[in-house]
Every structure is written in structure tokens, then in C-alpha cells.
Homo-oligomer: A and B are copies of this chain.
């Protein structure tokens, strides 16, 4: 090879950075960072995208966040979150729809690949699970055209069944797909895949005996792919039981290959709620995330 040819080959460091282009850091993983620090940290590490939450974005300012991201050339793999569509009375349900419209507007400003919907649990004092699920179906059909008109894709996220009572009555990927396809609502046409997709989060779906079948069925509907591990024993606060990939029981190669086989070309977002990780210097957390992403995810992507 000529000296000229050698000069045109990417250097090892560039290759390493190239491999991180589909990695996204959800800001809850490094939650002590505000948006400007998060953007800087991602640029420094060569990470291609971020997952954002509405509250810290509002702290920094929606417009300023959008400008920081544009300058840095970072994509927004998801905005968390809309949803909480279940409620005991019509007034509260109406307020939830209005709040979701505002979330759609914010997702549009940020150019987010999707607005994540955590659909909500049983209304206070209610045991009517089927009724709550109908409320979600109805609200979704109402929100989808609004999101479409603003160029935003909704991502229905099934949550682990242990959150069914208090956070999300959508508990499996199959159920989320039934919703997006209009089956739950008795619609004659599916909601367009560009308007309404599903979020596949390894933590929430890994246990499902039908996970492979349902990921395959989700082809073209995967709005976001989120990864973190299932660690045992569960911590006292079940919300914080998420681990870094490789620290728990999930076979990431298997699930990531299944997602990749659908043709999914989006980002892989690392979203970890974990008290130990939150107590660690975010720069160190970022380096660990990068290492684990290379070890457990990238090879299967």
C-alpha cells in the first residue's frame, strides 16, 4: 500500500468512534449532568445520540437544548415521556391528552425520533384493568393524528408486568403491537407505523416467552430500542433495579440480533435507573457504558 493509501485509511481511534454512532445515552443514566454537560460528554466520547426527559430539558430551556444538540450534531433517539393516559374521570383524561400534545410539540422542536409513551396504570381505586386498557387505546387513537401532523412518532412502551398496577397497563410487546395495529380498538385500519411505533426495552421484555415472535412482528414499528440489564436481587425500590449490560441476566446478543433482523436502523439507547450508578462520576459511567456497548451490543447489531 502506498503512503497515500495509508493516509486515507481511517485511524483506529476514528474507527472506534465510528462504532459509537448508533449508541445513545439516556440522560437518566447520567442524571447528575444537566443538558449542556450531557451534550459535551457525548461529543467528547463520540456518542451519536441522546435520550432526553422533559423536565431537565425544561430546566435548560427547550430552544436552548435544541440549539445545543444541533451545534453538537447529536440526534435525539427519544423524548421521555408522554402517556399516563388512564384516569378515573373525563376531566383528568382530557388534561392528560392536553399534556401529551405539549409533549408532542416538544418532541417536534427537538427532532426526537419518538415520544415515549408510558401509558399509565390503574386509575386510583379502580380494579378495572380492561377498562384502563380501553382508555389507553382510545387516547392513542386520538393522539396519533396530532403527532403525525407535527411529524412526531409515538412510541408505545410496554413496561414489565410488575408495573401494571401503578405505571403501565400495557405489559407485553404483543399487547403494544395490538394497540398500534388498532386491534385493541377494533379499528379497521392499523395506525400508520410512521405515526405510532413501539419501544423495545430489554428490561421490560426479556422474560416474555413470545419475545422473539413479537420483535419479529414489530418490524417497521420499532420506534426505539433501549437496553439495560435485569439484576437480582431486586432492590428495595423496584424502579431502580436496572443494571449495566452484563451485570445481570439478560442475553443482549440474542435480543439485539432479533431487533437488528427486523431491519431496525435506529439508535441503541442505554437507559439505567440505578442508585449506585447515579452515585458514580458520570464520565466514568459513560466510559463503562461504552465498554459494555462494545462487548454486548455492537457485535450483534
Bound-state CA distance A248–B127 (Å) is 8
Count of identical protomers in the assembly: 2
Contacts of A178 in B (CB 8 A): 209
CB contact under 8 A between A166 and B128, given known A161-B160, A209-B175, A238-B238: no
**Stretch from A29-37, A49-57, A228-236, A278-286 at the B interface:** A228-236
CB contact under 8 A between A248 and B162, given known A171-B209, A209-B171: no
Bound-state CA distance A142–B129 (Å) is 38
Contacts of A250 in B (CB 8 A): 127
> Is the Cβ of A133 less than 8 Å from the Cβ of B209?
yes
> Is the Cβ of B249 less than 8 Å from the Cβ of A238?
no
Which residue from chain B places its CB closest to the CB of A248 in the assembled complex? B165
> Is the Cβ of A208 less than 8 Å from the Cβ of B171?
yes
CB contact under 8 A between A232 and B166, given known A129-B206, A251-B129: yes
Contact with B along A216-238 (1 / 0, CB 8 A): 00000000000000101110101
> Is the Cβ of A165 less than 8 Å from the Cβ of B128?
no
Which residue from chain B places its CB closest to the CB of A127 in the assembled complex? B251
Contacts of A232 in B (CB 8 A): 165-166
Contacts of A164 in B (CB 8 A): 206-207
> Is the Cβ of A249 less than 8 Å from the Cβ of B122?
yes
Contact with B along A156-172 (1 / 0, CB 8 A): 00001110111000011
Interface size on A, residues (CB 8 A): 30
Contacts of A161 in B (CB 8 A): 160-162, 207-208
Contacts of A206 in B (CB 8 A): 129, 164
Contacts of A207 in B (CB 8 A): 129, 161, 164-165, 171
Bound-state CA distance A207–B251 (Å) is 25
A227, chain B: closest CB distance, angstroms: 14
Contacts of A165 in B (CB 8 A): 207, 230, 232, 248-249
> Is the Cβ of A172 less than 8 Å from the Cβ of B209?
yes
Bound-state CA distance A234–B208 (Å) is 21
Bound-state CA distance A208–B209 (Å) is 13
The 8 A-B residue pairs whose C-beta atoms are closest, nearest first, are A236-B236, A164-B207, A127-B251, A165-B249, A161-B207, A162-B162, A175-B209, A166-B232
Q: A162-B234, A178-B209 are in contact. List 9 more A-B contacts (CB 8 A).
A: A127-B251, A129-B207, A133-B209, A161-B208, A164-B206, A165-B230, A165-B232, A171-B208, A172-B209
Contact with B along A235-259 (1 / 0, CB 8 A): 0101000000000111100000000
Contacts of A162 in B (CB 8 A): 160-162, 234, 238
Which residue from chain B places its CB closest to the CB of A250 in the assembled complex? B127
Among A209, A230, A251, find the residue whose CB has the most chain B CB atoms closer than 10 A: A209
